[in-house]
C-alpha cells in the first residue's frame, strides 16, 4: 500500500486514516522506493532500515520519542486558524489537514521532562499544511515562550515547515517578527533555547525562530533553506554546489552547530539542557 504523499506516518492510523494494528500497514520509502512494514520502520525510529533515509514523524510520535515517559503535558490546546482573508479553498484545506493529522494546527506545544529536566517543548506537524506558519502557529510559539519565561523553563523546539502560510497573507508574515520578539525576551531572561531542525525547515520559519536557538542541531540530510534550491537555481541560472542547503552543507558553513542522529537525540538534548539549566525544575 503506497504511503500517502510518500513521506509521513501517523501513529495508530492506516494510510487512509483508519485504525490499524501497526504490522499490517506498509509504506514505500521515498528514497529507495522499497516497501516496508510501518511496524519495522517505527521500531527503527522512522529511519528506513534499507537505505537509512529519515522519514518524517508526526509531532506526537516525536514527543513520545524525546520526552520522559508520561511527562508531556500539552498546553494551548484546541486552537485553530480561521480563514481571515477569505482565501479561496483555505477552509477546505484546514479541514483536510485536521483529518489527516489529527491535530487542530501545525504545531503541538507543552511541557515535559527530558532526561529528568523540565522544559517547554514545541514540535511542528508536517501533516498539517506542511507545518506552515499562520497566525495560530505564531501565537502558540509566542505564548509558549512567554509561558517559559514566566516559569523559568528552557525551550526545546523541533521544526519542520514549508514556511509562512500563504493562505493567511501578510498576517502569516508578521508571525516571524512576533515569534522572534518572544524568543528574544526568553533569551534576555537568561533562559536556554535549543532548536532541532528536521527535513524540511524552510521559508519564514527558517528566517525566524528556527535559526534563533542558542544551540542549533539538525537531523542528517535535512533541507534547511529560506528559498528552496529550485527557486534559487531558476533565479540565479547557475549550477548549485553539491549538497546545497542540506544539514551537512550548513554545518560546514557554520549555520548549524551539530548534526545528531535520531538514536542519540534524547541523550544529547538532555546533556545540553543539563549544561545550560541552573534550576532543575
Ligand atoms: Zn529507503
CATH of domain 58-276: 3.90.226.10
How close is the Cα of 30 to the center of ligand 1, in Å? 7
How close is the Cα of 16 to the center of ligand 1, in Å? 21
How close is the Cα of 39 to the center of ligand 1, in Å? 15
pLDDT in tens, the chain (281 residues): 333 333 444 443 333 333 333 345 788 888 899 988 888 898 999 999 999 999 889 999 999 999 999 999 999 999 999 999 999 999 999 999 999 999 999 999 999 999 999 999 999 999 999 999 999 999 999 999 999 999 999 999 999 999 999 999 999 999 999 999 999 999 999 999 999 999 999 999 999 999 999 999 999 999 999 987 788 888 888 888 888 889 999 999 999 999 999 999 999 999 999 999 876 55
User: Which pLDDT score, from 0 to 100, does residue 19 have?
Assistant: 36
SS3 26: strand
Cell of 154: 528552557
- Cβ proximity of 179 and 141 under 8 Å: yes
- The pairing of strands 8-9 and 215-218 is unpaired
DSSP 8-state symbol, 78: S
User: Which pLDDT score, from 0 to 100, does residue 281 have?
Assistant: 52
User: Which pLDDT score, from 0 to 100, does residue 39 have?
Assistant: 85
How close is the Cα of 55 to the center of ligand 1, in Å? 9
Q: Report how far residue 76's alpha carbon sits from residue 74's, in angstroms, rounded to the nearest whole number.
A: 7
Ligand 1 ion: Cβ-proximal residues, 5 Å cutoff: 29, 31-32, 48, 50-51, 53
Domain boundaries, the chain: 1-56, 58-276
User: Which pLDDT score, from 0 to 100, does residue 239 have?
Assistant: 83
How close is the Cα of 2 to the center of ligand 1, in Å? 13
Query: Which stretches of the chain are assigned E, i.e. beta strand?
Result: 8-9, 26-28, 35-37, 56-57, 73-74, 107-114, 117-124, 155-161, 193-201, 215-218, 258-259
Amino acid at each position: 500500500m503506497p504511503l500517502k504523499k510518500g513521506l509521513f506516518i501517523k501513529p495508530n492510523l492506516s494510510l487512509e486514516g483508519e485504525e490499524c494494528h501497526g504490522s499490517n500497514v506498509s509504506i514505500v520509502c521515498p528514497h529507495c522506493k522499497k516497501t516496508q512494514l510501518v511496524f519495522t520502520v517505527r521500531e527503527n525510529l522512522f529511519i528506513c532500515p534499507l537505505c537509512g533515509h529519515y522519514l518524517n514523524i508526526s509531532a506526537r510520535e516525536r514527543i513520545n520519542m524525546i520526552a520522559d515517559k508520561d511527562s508531556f503535558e500539552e498546553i494551548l490546546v484546541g486552537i485553530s486558524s480561521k480563514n481571515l482573508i477569505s482565501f479561496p479553498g483555505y477552509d477546505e484545506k484546514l479541514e483536510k489537514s485536521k483529518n489527516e493529522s489529527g491535530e487542530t494546527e501545525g504545531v503541538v506545544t507543552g511541557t515535559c521532562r527530558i532526561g529528568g529536566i523540565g522544559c517547554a517543548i514545541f514540535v511542528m506537524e508536517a501533516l498539517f499544511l506542511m507545518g506552515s506558519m499562520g497566525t495560530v502557529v505564531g501565537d502558540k510559539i509566542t505564548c509558549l515562550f512567554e509561558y517559559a519565561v514566566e516559569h523559568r523553563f528552557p525551550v526545546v523546539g523541533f521544526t519542520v515547515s514549508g514556511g509562512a502560510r500563504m493562505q493567511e497573507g501578510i498576517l502569516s508574515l508578521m508571525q516571524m517578527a512576533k515569534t522572534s520578539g518572544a524568543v528574544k525576551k526568553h533569551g534576555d531572561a537568561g533562559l536556554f533555547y535549543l532548536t532541532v531542525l528536521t527535513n524540511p525547515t524552510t521559508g519564514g520559519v527558517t528566517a525566524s525562530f528556527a535559526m534563533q536557538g542558542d544551540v542549533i542541531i539538525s537531523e542528517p540530510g535535512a533541507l534547511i533553506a529560506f528559498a528552496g534550491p529550485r527557486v534559487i537555481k531558476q533565479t540565479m541560472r547557475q549550477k548549485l554546489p553539491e549538497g546545497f542547503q542540506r544539514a551537512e552543507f550548513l554545518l560546514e558553513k557554520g549555520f548549524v552547530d551539530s548534526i545528531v542522529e535520531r538514536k542519540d537525540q534524547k541523550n544529547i538534548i538532555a546533556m545540553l539542557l543539563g549544561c545550560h539549566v541552573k534550576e532543575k525544575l
